[in-house]
Structure 1
Amino acid sequence: MIPNFVNKKMFHLLDIIGTLFFAISGVLTGLNKKLDAFGVFVIAFVTALGGGTLRDILIGKTPVGWMIDTQYIYIVLFGVLISVLFRKKLDQLRVSLFLFDTIGLGIFTIIGIEKGISKELDPMICIALGTMTASFGGVIRDILCNEIPILFRKEIYATICIIGGGLYFFLKQLNLNQDLLYLLTSSFIITLRLLAVYYKWSLPQLYKE
């Protein structure tokens, strides 16, 4: 459980930031695919909220979060708006989509883990929920954009979430301040993914030509 009011505020702030960054990632993907305005919104929506929707259904939390709290829809709309308005500036940063996706990855892994903890689930299941929350919105996005999801390709995407989840429970045993725990875990996931891409770390492919 989230132990106090301060941590609830921190948790909620992370949720908002993660939703916004994933929405921006989705918008940039939609724009690169030359989708119309509705298509861009749909891609932003599923990128930001798809993983959390699937997680909530699996843990029996219905109606799902964005149906109860419509602020998440407005956050996605805001992400669409600023991405369209500042697209040229974002396009000047070749890694902008990657960075927004990576930041969202770090934040949403923690959110999914905490949702599992709130249901008193086993740590392994909590880590699975964190991985799902962080990565399955991107899976839906890629499928809709006619791409093989990055989760199923060489890059260690979901694996990073799993490793980060393991670190989360290790640090939790040290009785760290919850806000510090969130910060350390999300920073680790973000840094690990940056290093993985820079050094081209990948899992072995089973298929051989």
Structure 2
Amino acid sequence: MTTEYFHFLGVLGVAFFAVSGTLLGHEKKINGFGVVVVAAMTALGGGTVRDVLLGEPIFWISSPDYLLSTYSAIIGTILFIRYMPPLSNYYFIFVDAVGLAIFNIMGIEKALINGSGMIVAITMGMTTGIFGGLMRDVVCREIPLVMQGDVYASACLAGGLSYAALFSLDIPYVWCIVGSILVTVLLRVGSEHWGWRVNLFKKRNAAPSEKVP
């Protein structure tokens, strides 16, 4: 991925996650500077964890554009909430899904650039995608989405595997990125619309002979 692509995706990703953090802060009736803290944590948390793990300079310290994007998105969302009709929960789901998908790609690409193998890159993509939302939910005293059986981390995993499959076929970078983002967003939004859940410990129905009379 070229530097321009990478930078553009990062700026876009932090903006979407800043919007989702602001929307959840509004829903939880957090006011004042607290909304900024929650939204900034959502936007910058996952990428910060990624850079620490990779031993890279923290992205928003190296390039203030990420902070500008974050604060602009927060202010824009606050103004939208104040002066526009009430928002549907689908706004939060959609912007969070897009932020998740973009940060997933950012983590994968940065790990690959750093010389990591694909399995490490996919794991780094999931880490980058989920940690901002995880921090947001903990601060807002919500059970984190990734802990609820929602298609969240698994959407990142599917997006990462899609990227790896396209990458192995020598598909141009831009289509690897587009394919991964589409898979992640469609799975995340679809899970909310159709109620898909990941339940690893769901037991099969017992056979008739095993049932207690």
Q: Aligned residue for 1:130?
A: 125
Is 2:65 aligned against 1:71? yes
Q: Please tell me whether Structure 1 or Structure 2 has the larger radius of gyration of its CA atoms.
A: 2
| Aligned pairs (5 A) from 1:175-194 | 175-194=170-189
Between the aligned residues of both structures, percent identity stands at: 33
Partner of 1:58: 53
Deviation at 1:91, TM superposition (A): 3.0
Partner of 2:39: 44
Say if 2:17 is the partner of 1:19.
no
Distance 1:90 1:154, change over 3 A: farther
1:205, CA displacement in angstroms? 5.6
Q: Work out the CA distance in 1 between the residues paired with 2:89 and 2:46.
A: 26
Distance 1:44 1:118 in 2: 28
Q: How many residues align?
A: 202
Distance 1:127 1:148 in 2: 24
Scaled by the length of structure 1, the TM-score of the pair is: 0.91
Whether 1:84 aligns to 2:78 is yes
Residue of 71, 93, 97 corresponding to 2:88: 93
Write the deviation string for residues 156-207 of structure 1: whole angstroms up to 9, x where unpaired: 2101101110110110011111112211110111112122222211122649
CA RMSD of aligned residues (A): 1.6
So what's the TM-score if we normalise by structure 2?
0.89
In the alignment, is the contact (CA less than 8 A) between 1:23 and 1:80 conserved in 2? yes
Displacement, 1:11? Answer: 2.2
- Superposed displacement of residue 85, structure 1: 0.7
